[in-house]
């Protein structure tokens, strides 16, 4: 079976998926990217050039906080975790995203009247 073709992230999806990944507990950047890729069956791939700027924006917004720790490979790594504001944002964004998905799916399934 051929590898799935990666798709481009839509506006807001990167932050939403990072928040979701962190809802399972603190993680470092590589594990966040790996979780997204694995969960999405390799269709979504979050590169470092998108991941770390998003994490920094999310820190600035106080949705996540970061602490230094040691990775499973015994390396120094920055671990990110959700704040209360991040958990609230995840709930709000999930609701909005789900409404958007339903609306788009409905429009894509629409047929001309009388056909």
Checking phi first, is residue 6 left (phi over 0); if not, alpha (psi -120 to 50) or beta? beta
For range 65-85, the mean pLDDT: 92
Domains of the chain and any CATH numbers: 13-109 (1.10.10.10)
Task: Give the predicted TM-score (pTM) of the model.
Answer: 0.83
pLDDT beyond 70 at 9: no
Average pLDDT over residues 51-80: 93
The 10s digit of each residue's pLDDT in 76-89 is 999 999 999 999 99
Count of CA atoms in the C-beta half-sphere (13 A) of 24? 11
Using the Cα atoms of residue 108, residue 6, residue 79 and residue 73 in order, give the sign of their dihedral.
Answer: positive
pLDDT at 11 over 80: no
pLDDT of 7 higher than 60: no
């Amino acid at each position: 079976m051929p590898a799935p073709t990666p798709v481009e992230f839509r506006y807001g999806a990167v932050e939403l998926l990072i928040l979701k990944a962190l809802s399972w507990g603190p993680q470092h950047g590589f594990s966040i990217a790996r979780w997204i890729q694995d969960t999405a069956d390799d269709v979504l791939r979050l590169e470092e050039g998108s991941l770390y700027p998003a994490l920094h924006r999310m820190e600035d917004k106080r949705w996540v906080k970061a602490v230094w720790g040691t990775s499973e490979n015994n390396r120094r790594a920055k671990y990110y975790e959700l704040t209360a504001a991040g958990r609230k944002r995840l709930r709000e964004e999930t609701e909005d995203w789900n409404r958007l998905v339903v609306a788009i799916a409905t429009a894509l399934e629409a047929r001309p009247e009388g056909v």
